[in-house]
Structure 1
């Protein structure tokens, strides 16, 4: 028998991941299989087992895996030798995307935003938003919220709440002040009472902030949903005090909560919006930073990035906008399927003590008082062929982010698995 491990540079089976890949890997620990192909709402491992995906690339695959409509447009573009890498040069692919984004998304919503391509990830667009807010206002401080998650680079990490992720910075994370997110005090006190008081009190010691950054639904923070009236009050507070409002729509945008932007339901118009994940359509890297026209004070090249011009993403993004956002069919389906998940989770909450639920659209959470129960439910679900992750400061929430294009039958199949897993853990 040949033992491959004895030969330098060769490793059998899955040993290469443990041998060569960093200990920082995480999802592969909870889902210990090697995936090979994916289509729609399903992934298949190399040993032929199928897994229903209630994770969707952490929200980067709102239109599913290898969406055939988007794939066809991408293959055609590649086969025509379309520009792949363009920095911020003018290309036909970028022009088509900008024209489509303005026609399909901005104009129908009365939004007069400029569009910046900051680099291809969520943390890139958050960094651009923070830098721009500071440049526009001349102030340094940013207000963020408890349990927020905005990215893993230093600026984005400074406005993130998770202590484990913050500790990884290795340096002080400064110029940010956390405030309580909606219902942080469980209705005991008015959320903005402290915020508005320290802003107006010259003795509070709070530096006047350049901006407030907020998620309408905190996905990584545990599926914490901000009420529409809370968001409106926050927007009013910022407007009255000349503080810029940044909405981080990296995970909750592109239809995850129903409408294209998650803040639409509240009827607010943020000064700056960050988009990534599913804006590329096909799971390809892409990010946008949107901001009101009068805030465009950048000098040429003042914020840039080698891969901000990812043209294949422009192609699939344009196709996704044209196919899914010229009518309300996807939005209505998202809300209907979200309600179906909510009903199932409400039933489980009624059946088992210490279980509750919260969410909007197709981001839904099943919350366990004992965090280990959430982790056990996800482990059992994986064994039964379902991918779901945990979130929250103690990983106490089973968080669902299925593709928006998931079928009703697929949704029911996955919900049955979760119900069985919950019953097994709580029995």
Structure 2
């Protein structure tokens, strides 16, 4: 008898084992459109992952694709470092007109390297330069990136361990509801900041996510964010809001901090700011903080002009009024209602989220992984997050149709029923 086995793939023989998403979703994907992604065998999967939040406008959005193709076909600048280009000018004009001015925000725009961790590094570096201080306050279960500065203000122990060296000059504080309401929100933080005997140096900045995505969809209350902003302002500490994953409409408004009515000193954006999944990042800051020397912070790929084109097209198309925000909030309510229903039907299941980042939380963390795995088998991509991967986190494209949204929620509900019954 002859036994045949499938030859090892080039992925397993040549690609590093550091890969992760291909391990949980072993299909070989080929094409994608809207909220759907198709593997090389023709099987379609509904995408409730959306590039970890980099595809808020869906895969190959036709509005953005048309702008990008036209730009490429006319030999528009692709690589421009920080040179002035037509594409950059048009992006800045549309960003000012549709995003900054309507919100009364007067931010300077810096183009760091093209990723989320790049903009966080720029923000930390600028805060230290402006204040002359070294320390940064971060929060429990935070995630800010994988380079050393960003890792130093990240909570996940596995990711931090990958640095291989001590991660210093950062002090974690409890995020909203970390103690389940048993302790006043800023009791410890205020005490150590104001006590000359605490041994804590006055920090340059506080960095915070309004909703911790990788940390488990932990949502900061509006009251908590307001109090944090006031605490920073009264003590001369810069407030950095990391909006890499939660910005660009993920929670409803373009910026996730808008709901709290605060104005951070520095804001970091990446992921969906490029519109089409193109690498792009922004570091926004108040004009008086623009103390950089020429070239003091730079990067070869900080001027991704095709991303300027798709970003400008996305902002012009979706953010000229508040209709997109309202539609996002309505879809978020639909997801939340579905999760509340599952929470009432099954013990040990709860829900949390804001807008179209929603988490289904399992007291038994193993069940979350089983639900996500079963959902994949049934044609739905959804990841887990949280310190024990106890949360099934949904990040569907904001442009998803009602029909596709309900279809995905049905798949997830069926998977939950199988695992929890």
Q: 1:239 to 1:52 in 2, by over 3 A?
A: same
CA distance in 1, matches of 2:10, 2:364: 35
- Aligned residue number for residue 42 of structure 2: 48
- Aligned residue number for residue 219 of structure 2: 225
CA distance in 2, matches of 1:330, 1:405: 9
- Aligned residue number for residue 240 of structure 1: 234
Q: Does 1:335 align with 2:329?
A: yes
Counterpart of 1:420 (choices 394, 398, 414) is: 414
* 1:199-210 map, 5 Å: 199-210=193-204
Structure 1 residue 283 displacement after superposition: 0.3
Counterpart of 2:393 (choices 399, 410, 416) is: 399
Q: Secondary structure at the match of 1:263?
A: helix
* 1:264-279 map, 5 Å: 264-279=258-273
Structure 1 residue 229 displacement after superposition: 0.6
Q: Does 1:375 align with 2:373?
A: no
Structure 1 residue 13 displacement after superposition: 6.6
CA distance in 1, matches of 2:34, 2:123: 33
- Aligned residue number for residue 173 of structure 2: 179
Q: 1:281 to 1:30 in 2, by over 3 A?
A: same
- Aligned residue number for residue 9 of structure 1: none
* 1:4-403 map, 5 Å: 15-403=9-397
CA distance in 2, matches of 1:390, 1:14: 27
CA distance in 2, matches of 1:307, 1:171: 27
- 1:90-129 per-position Cα deviation (integer Å, ceiling 9, x unaligned): 0000000011111110011111100000010000000000
- 1:160-196 per-position Cα deviation (integer Å, ceiling 9, x unaligned): 0000000000000000000000000000011200000
CA distance in 2, matches of 1:333, 1:52: 20
- Aligned residue number for residue 8 of structure 1: none
Structure 1 residue 203 displacement after superposition: 0.3
Name stretches of at least 5 consecutive residues in structure 1 with no aligned partner.
Answer: 6-11
CA distance in 1, matches of 2:131, 2:229: 17
CA distance in 1, matches of 2:350, 2:7: 41
Q: Secondary structure at the match of 1:399?
A: strand
CA distance in 1, matches of 2:141, 2:377: 30
Moved over 2 A (4+): none
CA distance in 1, matches of 2:369, 2:4: 34
Structure 1 residue 38 displacement after superposition: 0.1
CA distance in 1, matches of 2:222, 2:419: 35
Q: 1:284 to 1:196 in 2, by over 3 A?
A: same
Aligned residues: 419
CA distance in 1, matches of 2:14, 2:213: 31
CA distance in 2, matches of 1:281, 1:108: 20
CA distance in 2, matches of 1:196, 1:377: 41
Question: TM-score, structure 1 length as denominator?
Answer: 0.97
Name stretches of at least 5 consecutive residues in structure 2 with no aligned partner.
Answer: none
Q: 1:379 to 1:300 in 2, by over 3 A?
A: same
Question: TM-score, structure 2 length as denominator?
Answer: 0.98
Structure 1 residue 15 displacement after superposition: 1.0
CA distance in 1, matches of 2:372, 2:48: 11
Q: 1:14 to 1:359 in 2, by over 3 A?
A: farther
CA distance in 1, matches of 2:338, 2:108: 41
Q: Secondary structure at the match of 2:256?
A: coil
CA distance in 2, matches of 1:13, 1:65: 31
